[in-house]
Structure 1
């Protein structure tokens, strides 16, 4: 077949299909790309969000325009960045220019400084040498001044330290301190090869120091003569002088002894004036109210004297605290230093107590010594009061008052002070007088121990003794006592003022017949118990009294119980059945007992019926003299209960015997019921005795 021009070759028929497949491939590629995109990708989500913000629709025009817009935005951003870099480059050029000028200035200044250093090096070296020489001269000058200040006293300082015509003032103390320092510093000079200067200075300084301390010692003695401790503003100079004088323990102790003697005389005169209203020389003091005239009884008299002594001791201590403790431990330090410096004491320290100085202990001892004169007068007056007192209660109150002030002074001073020992001796003497008066009183009423009251009440001598003892116990209760065991401390008082009267009452009870003896003794013990019970420090005795009361109560219970058994006519029956139990062997023995036979059992039943109507009243009547009606009732009820228990046993045994007999004999004529002969029941007995 021939072909015409323009006609396609035969193989060209396949070309359209091939072109169409190539045209389809880009689209499928895009679709594949879109489908393969992950919506979880961050950049993809951000791109979609950006498209949403622009509010574009998905059309071919929009897609073309969007690409153009994006390209334009990228070009504009790049242009802005280029402009910014241009400005940065301009700033860097300016900074480079400035750095160049700075380098030029630095090089110029470095050149000028080098030239100036070369020009001034020689004058600087000369100035440095001169400064070194100046420092050496100043050091030598300072050393000379220091030597003069530390190892030499001026003429004015020497005069202020040694001359008695010069006052003891700040200059004196300053010079004394300087002299002590010079003496200590001389040890440095003695360390050099040439010791002549050190020895000369030390010898001169030691002489000046000794003269200074002697001057201070005499001045302190003069001040002590005129020192008024009642003045709340005690001069600081005397305190300062004592602190300094403590460095000479011997002189310091002599001053204390002198001061104690002077204060002892002053306080003795003051106490005498307080007692009599006039001084020992006879000059009256209109402002004083004499204790001997204003105190109306012995207790008030002794109390006022002790109160004055306490007030004086407190005032003395407060005043002396300002002298000896107001400066802390300066005195203690001074005395310790003085002991170390007094070489002559070293030989005696092996046999003496070299304990550290105790300012409080020394103060207490000094106050005690100051009060020694007044304490002697106090002891004489109180001893006279103790010896002339004839009242037992007053004697104990006096001893208790002395005990209170002894404890007070023990806390104020110390338990070893002579004032406390004096009060302790006076307390012991007052207690001896109390015991003597108590024994005399017991001896005087021995005759009353033989007469028992008809109504069996507590005797008068016991009531009087308990009244006195109550007053004593109230006194002890309101007093201050530091005893760890108040009962143990008060025991001697009970032995003297209580036990003899209880013993007398017990002996009186022994002479009576029962039950009067137990009733009388219980009345006495209850009365005594009621007096002792309110006080905590007598509980041991209260417990002992309660034990005695319980013992006597049991005796009365037994007496009432025996009364019920005897008067009811059942004593023999109860006694015969009491050993038997509920066993068949014991039950068989019941019918053979003599007390269970018909006549005897009928008689016992009749006696019981006659007894029961008035049994309880008759039993109570026996205890009518017992002052505690409740106790009498309890005793009677307990005895009745014991009797009822015995009756229940009798009733049970008779019933068991009837049951056994009924089993053996049946209802024959030989059988006779024991309960018919003895019809009373335990319930009836309890009702009649309740």
Structure 2
């Protein structure tokens, strides 16, 4: 038996049962205790609810049935979960709506709380103010009761008529005398205080560094205009003394230790002398203005204070402008114009610092005087130079007198750098210089021939036009000079064209070319074929070297533009004459035989060669 059992436990391959996987599974199933496996029991119990037919087919379909039931259960779970989700979404919507309402209520509550806080604060403030007013009312009532008469007492004192009798009640109303006594005592104390304050303010106006309380004292003293004006006058007198003393020290002594040097040492240089004086005044005004603003607030008395320097300033500047006759030549008008611009500059600058007063009026008067003297000196200088303009030389260039006059104009105009509004002077300055200069140039050219005169005038007017253009002068004078240039160019062009026409032999033919007769022109001695052939020969020479027939004096022109203009006008005139002659020669009515041999070039070729 034992041998048979061992033989049965062996398989065909000779393996032992414990090593066979199937045997292990079977042994595991046999060894399983189902009564202890609750999950397995529950699964079998659930399986018994739908697995009733234990057949081979049912066992094969068991897995599919289980999966189908699992899918059904999952679908039921999904349906149930969808209902839960929809319910949760509804709850979320409701909660969101409630949250929005709560937020809105929170904001409204905060706004209401803020408004209520302001209202409570305002109510508290009004309550405090009301309590204060009630207290003031009680004080006022007590004051009225003690220091004013009632209506009955007033009627007793005044009486109903003049014939009303005096009664005992009339003398009982005597407490009004207390109010009058109090008022009189207060007025006496007030007047004494103001008098003391006035004397103290006067004493504080004299030292350089007054007490800081002076500003407050002057504000309190303003209710007494008489006393206040006396203090202001005292302060002005003191400040004027300091200003004029400082100005005179700057003129004669200079600064501490000799730096800066005394202004009077610059008297030999009028521009610097006047500029230093005006600069000192301009520097002194802001400190005085600041002192006035500190002490008098809105009461600016700068004009009165600055009056002290007007007399010494005016005396010295007038002496510098009027009585100094030592500077001659070009320097004097230029110096006067610089001084005039300097005075105008400081007049406008000081007017921005202080109100219009005697100082501003003095500066304006000095400016008008210096400008008038400048115009007079400029006219005298230009007249002196114009009367001495030299005759033109062989080169027909502008003479030294013209150059000196233009140099004077340039120096005067460029001196107006310090004055912003000096541009309106240019028209008058340019007229004072240009008009006499143009007349002098025309007079100096009167003894020359037509060509020499035109070349000389063109050179002079070219230099004058160039100078005015650089100085940004008025357009009116530039147009006048340009008109003079155009007139002289016309004169020179006519002379040039006439000379070229005579040189090429077309002058004799010109009247017949411009106004052809009705008879054949070939029979005219001036227009015979031989004459035209000679003209064509000379014209070929002119086309080869146009400059050789130009007037010699045109080479003396300073402007290359003028020379090009003359060449262009000459070329246009010769081209026009040639075109007319070419049309006449090729016209059969004029009887020229073989016109192509007489004038082989067409007008366009001649125009191209001359251009």
Q: TM-score range by the shorter chain?
A: 0.5 to 0.7
State whether residues 260 and 370 of structure 1, in contact with CA within 8 Å, keep that contact through their aligned partners in structure 2. yes
Report which stretch shifted further, 444-453 or 238-247. 444-453
Pairing partner for 2:76 from 53, 58, 83:
53
Confirm or deny that 1:556 pairs with 2:492: yes
1:315 aligns with 2:287: yes
Instruction: Tell me what 1:515 maps to.
Output: 451
Take 1:293 and 1:412, find their aligned partners in 2: how far apart are those partners?
A: 28
Q: Displacement of 1:459 after TM fit?
A: 1.4
Alpha-carbon distance between aligned partners in 1 of 2:198 and 2:295, rounded to the nearest angstrom: 16
Distance 1:300 1:187 in 2: 78
The answer to whether 1:436 aligns with 2:371 is no
Q: Conserved in 2, the CA contact under 8 Å of 1:277 and 1:286?
A: yes
Q: Structure 1: how far apart are the matches of 2:204 and 2:247?
A: 23
Counterpart of 1:257 in structure 2 is 233
Contact (CA 8 Å) 1:277, 1:288: kept in 2 or not?
no
Q: Does 1:398 align with 2:329?
A: no
> Hey, what's the Cα distance between the residues in 2 that align with 1:548 and 1:401?
36
1:391-430 aligned at under 5 Å gives the runs 391-414=332-355, 416-430=356-370
Given the alignment, which residue of 387, 392, 397 partners 1:452?
392
CA contact (8 A) 1:465 1:501 kept: yes
Secondary structure class of the residue paired with 1:371: helix
Alignment-derived partner of residue 143 in structure 1: 139
Q: TM-score, normalised by structure 2?
A: 0.66
Return the alpha-carbon distance in structure 1 between the equivalents of residues 309 and 361 of structure 2: 14
Q: Paired residue for 2:261?
A: 289
> Offset of 1:139 from its aligned partner?
6.7
Query: How do 1:170-189 and structure 2 match up within 5 A?
Result: none
**CA offsets per residue over residues 479-526 of structure 1, 9 Å max, x none?**
23246xx2x332222222343223311332344222222221121122
Q: Deviations over 1:289-316 (max 9, x none)?
A: 3112256622111111111010011221
**Residue 515 of structure 1 contacts residue 556 of structure 1 at CA under 8 Å; is this kept in 2?**
yes
Deviations 1:450-491 (A, max 9, x none): 522331111111211222222222221x223246xx2x3322
Map 1:229-248 onto structure 2 (within 5 A). 235-248=211-224
Match of 2:245 among 269, 275, 294: 269
Q: What is the aligned partner in structure 1 of residue 419 from structure 2? A: 480
- 1:385 is aligned to 2:320: yes
SS at match of 2:445: helix
Gaps of 5+ in 1: 1-47, 56-134, 152-185, 229-233, 326-358, 581-585, 663-670
SS of residue paired to 2:206 = helix
Give the distance between the partners of 1:410 and 1:400, measured in 2 at CA.
15
Alignment partners' CA distance in 1, 2:150 and 2:504: 118
Name the residue aligned to 1:623.
554
Q: Distance in 1 between matches of 2:553 and 2:261?
A: 66
Secondary structure of the 2:420 match is coil
Alpha-carbon RMSD across the aligned residues, in angstroms, is 3.8
Contact 2:509 2:526 in 1 (8 A): yes
CA distance 1:613–1:143, change in 2 (3 Å)? closer
User: What is the SS of the residue equivalent to 1:547?
Assistant: helix
Query: For 1:396 and 1:309, how far apart are their aligned partners in 2?
Result: 21
1:210 to 2:159 alignment: no
Relative to structure 1, the CA distance from residue 550 to residue 141 in structure 2 (aligned partners, 3 Å threshold; closer, same or farther) is closer
Taking a change above 3 Å as real, the CA distance of residues 49 and 393 of structure 1, as seen in their structure-2 partners, is farther
The structural deviation recorded for 1:200 is: 4.8
CA deviations 1:60-114 (Å, max 9, x no partner) are: xxxxxxxxxxxxxxxxxxxxxxxxxxxxxxxxxxxxxxxxxxxxxxxxxxxxxxx
CA contact (8 A) 2:501 2:507 kept: yes
Match of 1:682 in 2: 603
